[in-house]
């Protein structure tokens, strides 16, 4: 199994595989998990409890422990660095996208995606790696 160095980069890969075509199963459903505990509105819950500026511990633990088989990683041909990724609401349901909570700070995990050919939202998303366009170009990856 592959080990990611940048948790937020991993989350974007999870978003592609789990919330896109749902090849990575089972789908993690934070609102469903909270509903089982009697919490109907995840965003209100985190705001009320001062948890809105962090990844919820149960979500972090789940995604950090999640193993992604190399054969699934090899299927990723495009990756989107959009701040609106579905996985983020399963980590921080009240996140407003205005801070750096999900910023990707490293592209050291690119070798885990051997067939990655294109990335989007490089300038407008959660990617804050200096000279990212040059790094992608060096790996033969097209940018938007």
Two tokens, residue 99? 């801070």
The predicted-structure confidence for 41-56, as pLDDT tens digits, reads as follows: 999 999 999 998 899 9
Quick check: is 2 in a domain?
Answer: no
Quick check: is 1 in a domain?
Answer: no
Residue 86 makes CB contacts below 8 A (sequence gap 6+) with 15, 19
Two tokens, residue 68? 């992604």
Two tokens, residue 116? 């990655």
Q: Which DSSP symbol is given to 28?
A: P
The parts of the chain modelled with pLDDT lower than 70 are 1-2
Rounded CA gap, 74 and 95, in Å? 30
Quick check: is 125 in a domain?
Answer: yes
- Sheet of 78-80: strand order equals 78-80, 118-120, 142-143
Q: Are strands 78-80 and 118-120 parallel, antiparallel or unpaired?
A: parallel
Quick check: is 65 in a domain?
Answer: yes
Number of domains into which the chain is organized = 1
Structural domain boundaries, residue 26: 7-143
Amino acid 1: pLDDT: 54
Amino acid 41: pLDDT: 94
Amino acid 2: pLDDT: 62
Quick check: is 62 in a domain?
Answer: yes
Beta bridge partners of 118: 78, 142
Would the pTM count as exceeding 0.85? yes
């Amino acid at each position: 199994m592959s080990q990611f160095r940048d948790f937020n980069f991993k989350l974007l890969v999870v978003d592609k595989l789990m919330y896109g075509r749902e090849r990575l199963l089972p789908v993690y459903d934070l609102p469903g998990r909270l509903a089982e505990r009697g919490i109907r509105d995840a965003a209100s819950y985190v705001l009320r409890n001062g948890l809105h500026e962090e990844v919820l511990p149960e979500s972090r633990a789940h995604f950090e422990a999640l193993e992604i088989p190399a054969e699934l990683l090899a299927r990723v041909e495009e990756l989107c660095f959009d701040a609106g990724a579905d996985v983020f609401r399963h980590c921080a349901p009240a996140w407003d996208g205005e801070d750096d909570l999900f910023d990707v700070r490293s592209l050291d995990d690119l070798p885990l995606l051997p067939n990655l050919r294109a990335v989007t939202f490089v300038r407008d998303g959660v990617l804050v790696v200096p000279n990212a366009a040059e790094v992608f170009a060096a790996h033969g990856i097209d940018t938007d």
